[in-house]
């Protein structure tokens, strides 16, 4: 069995040790590296190219959002799962917009973290249930975005645009979407630009909220 290769970036050693014990106890996962600051995390992930990066939001040197943005270039196949004690709306929005495909609170039970890792590894997005409503309703919305999220905004989209939208919501990159739909990356980018214009979306957070509202991010969707 090929195991999920997991990297931990957290400035607290006790947190890293606890996560390592939890991950290494799973039959389908293994820890391949760890870092205590953002700069080290970026360097090691670029070399190791893990499947999953468990990323603390408040890292010294480079913060979690900054490292996540770098990894989109340095290690694009790595899925980033944000881990934080914070329920602050600004932190959540910053991490999701930087490219994280999940957000789990540090106080969550161990099983929640394992579920989140498996979800993002399959191309899904996992939002801690305790903050899911905040992601949908709490972050700032323009009047147009608010209407799109509450009404049937996808009715104005073509079938292909709806496919692209759903795959973006599940955390796939433009390159991955192009492969899945047998399109060029440029065509995927064009579909993405048009659908975001039609729905009045300005950032990835808008797509995540839209997907949450429509139930696309549930385990059985």
Instruction: Kindly report the backbone phi and psi dihedral angles of residue 111, in degrees, each rounded to the nearest multiple of 5, phi listed first.
Output: -60, -35
pLDDT digits (tens, 9 = 90+) for 174-202: 888 899 899 999 999 999 999 888 888 87
Stretch 136-165: mean pLDDT, rounded? 60
Stretch 38-63: mean pLDDT, rounded? 95
Three-class secondary structure of residue 30 per DSSP: strand
Contact between 82 and 55 (Cβ < 8 Å): yes
CB within 8 A of 53, min separation 6: which ones?
6, 7, 8, 9, 41, 45, 68, 71, 78, 79, 80, 81
Which of 21-30, 76-85, 116-125 has the weakest average pLDDT? 116-125
Nearest-angstrom CA–CA distance, 9 and 59:
8
Which of 27-31, 66-70, 89-93, 150-154 has the weakest average pLDDT? 150-154
pLDDT digits (tens, 9 = 90+) for 126-150: 888 788 766 666 544 443 344 444 4
Q: Which long-range contacts (CB under 8 A, 24 or more apart) does 154-158 make?
A: 154/199, 154/214, 156/198, 156/199, 157/195, 157/198, 157/199
Nearest-angstrom CA–CA distance, 7 and 34:
6
126: which strand partners? 102
The pLDDT score that the predictor gives to residue 214 is 73
Nearest-angstrom CA–CA distance, 15 and 196:
38
Q: How many residues does the chain have?
A: 221
pLDDT digits (tens, 9 = 90+) for 79-114: 999 998 888 777 787 888 888 888 999 888 888 899
Q: Is the pTM of this model over 0.75?
A: no
């Amino acid at each position: 069995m090929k195991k999920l290769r997991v990297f931990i970036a957290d400035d607290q050693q006790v947190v890293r040790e606890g996560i390592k014990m939890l991950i290494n106890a799973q039959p389908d996962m293994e820890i391949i590296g760890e870092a205590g600051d953002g700069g080290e995390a970026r360097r090691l992930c670029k070399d190791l190219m893990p499947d999953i990066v468990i990323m603390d939001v408040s890292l010294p040197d480079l913060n979690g959002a900054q490292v996540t943005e770098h990894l989109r270039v340095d290690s694009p196949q790595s899925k980033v799962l944000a881990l934080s004690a914070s329920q602050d709306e600004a932190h959540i929005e910053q991490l999701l917009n930087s490219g994280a495909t999940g957000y789990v609170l540090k106080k969550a039970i161990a099983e929640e973290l394992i579920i989140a890792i498996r979800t993002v590894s399959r191309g899904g997005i996992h939002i801690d249930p305790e903050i899911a409503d905040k992601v949908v309703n709490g972050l700032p919305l323009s009047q147009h975005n608010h209407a799109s999220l509450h009404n049937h905004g996808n009715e104005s989209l073509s079938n292909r645009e709806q496919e692209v939208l759903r795959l973006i919501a599940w955390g796939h990159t433009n390159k991955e979407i192009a492969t899945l739909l047998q399109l060029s990356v440029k065509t995927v980018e064009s579909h993405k630009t048009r659908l975001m214009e039609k729905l009045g979306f300005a950032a990835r957070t808008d797509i995540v909220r839209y997907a949450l509202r429509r139930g696309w991010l549930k385990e059985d969707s």
